[in-house]
Amino acid sequence: MPFFSLNDKTALITGGARGIGEAIVRRFAAAGADVHLLDVNAEAATALVAELTGAAQQVTFHPCDISDHTETIRVVDAIAEDASIDILINNAGIAHIGTVEQTTEADLDRLYQVNIKGVYNGLFAVIPHMKRSGGGCILNMASVASVVAVAERFAYSMTKGAVLTMTYAVAKDYLAHNIRCNSIAPARIHTPFVDGYLAQHYPGREDEMYDRLAQTQPIGRMGTPEEVAALAQYLCSDEAAFITGTNYPIDGGFITLHG
């Protein structure tokens, strides 16, 4: 058996159609998990499923708006009818750039609905099933903005701080139920969001601005979605059975070496 195998495990991954979520879907499927991808991006998710399913890999797409409490419970309950849920990855999230003065009430509400309520909805829907089946592993996607100040990330930092403290609370509350809960805190990761942001705000200067952003990481580059997915695989594997209630930075030295 290879290290960090996910054979015979059923994994739910929110926001799995693109970016970090897509990398996690790919890696977990390759590691033997039966992957259930929850996302609102039907086009990207359907294409990913078509590419991956087969050759001993199993990926199923479930259209789901994780900010909708009732819909999330319905989708999770339907998955749980056919298999015990071993892993939940609360990855879905949205970004916002701005100070408090540049954050409208609508901005704040939008981020809350996805980044905080969406994580709550995933936890609320999955944990009862994990309790009944004897345990499981939950991994939440936090951020370096959960633990250190990042300029012009007022609303985003608020939501990711909540993700971190929800992680601690769940880890504490469900020790007796054999449910582990950890989080990952990435710094800048090269995802489609980064490319879209640069194209929108710096047309014609994308390469220059990308290099500037990359150099804000002490290690001198952005991380890759695949590097985050590799850490996620370890934390959800049986080799990590002694780990719970912990936040794992993957940040090129940003938290401890920046400034």
Which domains can be identified in the chain, with CATH numbers?
10-187+224-249 (3.40.50.720), 188-222 (no CATH)
30 contact partners, CB below 8 Å, separation of at least 6:
57
Is 156 catalytic? The answer is: yes
Phi and psi torsions of 249, nearest 5°: -65, 140
Beta strands in 128-234 (DSSP E): 136-141, 179-186
What integer pLDDT is reported at residue 53 of this predicted model?
Answer: 79
pLDDT of 259 above 60: no
Q: Which of 112, 120, 156, 248 is catalytic?
A: 156
pLDDT in tens, 100-140: 999 999 999 999 999 999 999 999 999 999 999 999 999 99
CB 181 within 8 A of CB 167: yes
Phi and psi torsions of 40, nearest 5°: -95, -10
If you average pLDDT over residues 145-173, what whole number do you get?
A: 97
pLDDT in tens, 33-91: 999 999 999 999 999 999 997 766 899 999 999 999 999 999 999 999 999 999 999 99
